[in-house]
Structure 1
Amino acid sequence: MPIRALTERDADAATRLRRTALGRPGRPVPGPGARGLVAELDGDLAAVLTIGDFHQFWGGRTVPMGGVGAVAVDPRARGRGVTGALLDAALRDLREHGQPLAALYAPTPAPYRSRGWERAGVLEWLDLSSDQVPAGPRLPARAVREDDLPALHACYADLASTVNGLVDRAPPAVAVRDVLDLDVASVLPGHDGEVRGYLTAERTRHGLRVLDLVARDATALAGLLGGLRDSVGPADRIALRVVDPAVTGLLTGQGVEVAVTASHWMLRVVDLPAAVAARGWPAAEGLRDTTVDLDVVDEHAPWHAGRQRLVVEGGAVRVEPGGTGAVTVHARALGPWFAGTQDGHALRRAGLLDGDARLLDRLVGAPGVPRLADFF
């Protein structure tokens, strides 16, 4: 079946398709920092997806990542191999665009697991009332101004670099200035033009929907939380998107029950050598020079399938062709391993790995649950 790039000419048909398949229109065509693919069947548009140009933090370094979203298939085309063909084309497209990772949110995981994606992290929201937010010190926060935007983004990026999975929110995929259009955008100035912390939110009929609560230190975080408490009435609810896991600790440490809603996202390693080369490997600095021989089983990404040798040398890590293939790793195991979500024991029990994976586990050494704070 023909699969090609999504163009302006497809806008109306893609909007109708998304509304039929997903119940919402979505964007007619991708904007800056994104592209799309469509599949045709019997001369009609049968499926569509978009790919955003992101960079995701792993081990303190950013790895190019394609954010796959708005996957919609015409109900009349289901069961005819359209989804699989479109995802196969997306894998090739991701590699051609230099994106060795691909992440997505999947309401129905099975089609994506069949193409090598697996659950790797969470996007979390906390639901609480204003009286569940601890009172904090009064700090001189003010509204965000245009000239604050570079420092505000730097504040976010400094935090994001310490949390595996967060994207760097670089343009054009993310427009930092969009915060100026939000109902609430307050900043806590620091020294020499630095932003010490900031809060962004939008008001809904249910209360306040907090998009970012980011701070450089505990006092600033407590102050922003206190300001959040003052921003809503006693009957209002607060939905808080978790960017910094420290926020969860401060809130749930109050001895009050807090509801947590988690959206699980899936990760796919599209190009293993490129992904390993781009990732940070802090744990490798403490390891002696060594290797582990892999046999990568991946029929949908043949460019990295087969025998690959993972080399740790001088604190750096790389993947090169060759080796004995002593450790068999299936495509679905690569994402959870790369993210540090599952260790070798769990992957072995799931039938996705066979062999001695102790070095792989030591290499990842990533504390905490990988998380995203953006939806695509």
Structure 2
Amino acid sequence: MNLVVHDFWAANQSTAAAMLAFLGRHNTRAETIEFRRGALPPYPTLLHNLHRHRLTAEAWHPWMLRILDIPEAIRLRGWPADLNATVPIEIENENGGTGDRYILRITAGSAEISPTHVQGKVTLTRRQLAVWYADGYRTATSARMAGVHAASEKALATLVRSTADLEPWLPDHF
């Protein structure tokens, strides 16, 4: 028997630990328990005391993501508590022409984005914005290989770092 967990919800971390302990008991009937990416909230509960189990990680995005309200999406996403950064970005319009300019400010675990007239140091399409938001770029090099344009390597590295260690929790499947 194999078990695939697409969605995992718990009221708090101790409840999550108890649920994981139940799933990982020595007498479980499931030979394999697989957690899909995005199924777990962003805190390190799963990988403790799993010395008897073989762990594998696979990249899988079960959702189609299109950000309609950019300021609200930025506000609601989790951000690194130790990062304080300001990055001017430009998001191309649907036809590939000159896009909207924004200033992204990340401070102590929260972020906001607001319109500006300052030229962007990083230029993203709507699709690239969704990939960045969903933690799809692990390095500045991978972002550049995907077509993200940057006038500043530091700005691009900061943008990638802002999402690299804290995945958004996107439990909805479409």
TM-score band w.r.t. shorter chain: 0.5 to 0.7
Structure (1 or 2) with the larger CA radius of gyration: 1
Instruction: State the aligned residue count.
Output: 156
Letter in 1 for 2:149: L
Select which of 140, 144, 156 maps to 2:10: 156
Contact 2:91 2:124 in 1 (8 A): yes
Secondary structure of the residue that 1:265 maps to in structure 2?
Answer: coil
Contact 1:341 1:370 in 2 (8 A): no
- Going from structure 1 to structure 2, the CA distance change for 1:311 and 1:226 (only over 3 Å counts) comes to closer
Kept after mapping to 2: 8 A contact 1:310/1:320: yes
The structure where strand makes up a greater share of residues is 1
Shift of 1:349: 1.0
Q: Deviations over 1:235-290 (max 9, x none)?
A: xx556452448557766x4365879795643322222222112223233x542xx5
Contact 1:310 1:318 in 2 (8 A): yes
Report the counterpart of residue 135 of structure 1 in structure 2: none
Q: Give 2:89's aligned residue.
A: 294
Aligned twin of 1:306: 100
Query: Distance between the aligned counterparts of 1:261 and 1:309, measured in 2?
Result: 30
Match of 2:114 in 1: 320
Closer/same/farther in 2, CA of residues 373 and 227 from structure 1, 3 Å limit: farther
Residue 216 of structure 1 pairs with residue 36 of structure 2 = no
Mapped partners of 1:338, 1:374: distance in 2: 15
Question: For the residues of structure 2 that align with 1:309 and 1:353, how far apart are their CA atoms?
Answer: 16
* Larger relative contact order (CA 8 Å, sep ≥ 6): 2
The 2-side partners of 1:261 and 1:361 are apart by 17
CA–CA separation in structure 2 for the residues paired with 1:286 and 1:353? 22
Per-residue CA deviation, residues 147-198 of structure 1 (Å, 9 max, x unaligned), is xxxxxxxx71435xxxxxxxxxxxxxxxxxxxxxxxxxxxxxxxxxxxx54x
Measure how far apart 1:338 and its partner are.
1.6
User: Which whole-Å deviations, capped at 9, do the CAs of 1:100-144 have from their partners, x for residues lacking one?
Assistant: xxxxxxxxxxxxxxxxxxxxxxxxxx937xxxxxxxxxxxxxxxx
Aligned residue type for 1:127: N
Instruction: Map 1:42-53; keep pairs closer than 5 Å.
Output: none
Query: Aligned-pair RMSD on alpha carbons?
Result: 4.0
Q: Secondary structure, in 3 states, of the residue corresponding to 2:147?
A: coil
The aligned residue for residue 168 of structure 1 is none
Amino acid paired to 1:347: A
User: Whose helix fraction is larger, Structure 1's or Structure 2's?
Assistant: 1
Query: Corresponding residue for 1:280?
Result: 78
Instruction: Give the Cα separation in 1 of the matches to 2:60 and 2:157.
Output: 30
Whole-Å separation in 2 of the counterparts to 1:260 and 1:292:
31
Alignment counterpart, residue 329 of structure 1, candidates 124, 132, 138? 124
Q: Work out the CA distance in 2 between the residues paired with 1:158 and 1:334.
A: 31
Task: Return the alpha-carbon distance in structure 2 between the equivalents of residues 261 and 359 of structure 1.
Answer: 23
Cα shift readout 1:12-56 (whole Å, capped 9, x = no counterpart): xxxxxxxxxxxxxxxxxxxxxxxxxxxxxxxxxxxxxxxxxxxxx
Question: Aligned to 2:124, what secondary structure does the other structure show?
Answer: strand
Q: 2:59, 2:115 → 1: CA distance?
A: 42
Residue 162 (structure 2) aligns with:
363
Unaligned runs of 5+ in 2: 4-8
Q: How does 1:336-375 map to 2 (within 5 A)?
A: 336-342=131-137, 343-356=139-152, 357-367=156-166, 375=173
Q: What TM-score, normalized to structure 1? A: 0.33
- Report the Cα distance in structure 2 between the residues aligned to 1:261 and 1:313, rounded to whole angstroms: 29
Task: Give the whole-Å Cα distance in 2 for the aligned partners of 1:374 and 1:228.
Answer: 31
Residue aligning to 1:271: 69
For residue 291 of structure 1, give the secondary structure of its aligned residue in structure 2.
strand
Between the aligned partners of 1:238 and 1:348, the Cα distance in structure 2 is 40
3-state SS of paired residue (2:24): helix
In the alignment, the residues of structure 2 paired with residue 257 and residue 291 of structure 1 have an alpha-carbon distance, to the nearest angstrom, of 37
SS at structure 1 position matched to 2:65: strand
User: Normalising to structure 2: TM-score of the pair?
Assistant: 0.63
Percent of aligned pairs with the same residue?
A: 28
Counterpart code for 2:122: V
Q: Residue 225 of structure 1: CA displacement? A: 2.6
- Deviation at 1:347? 1.7
Amino acid at match of 1:308: Y
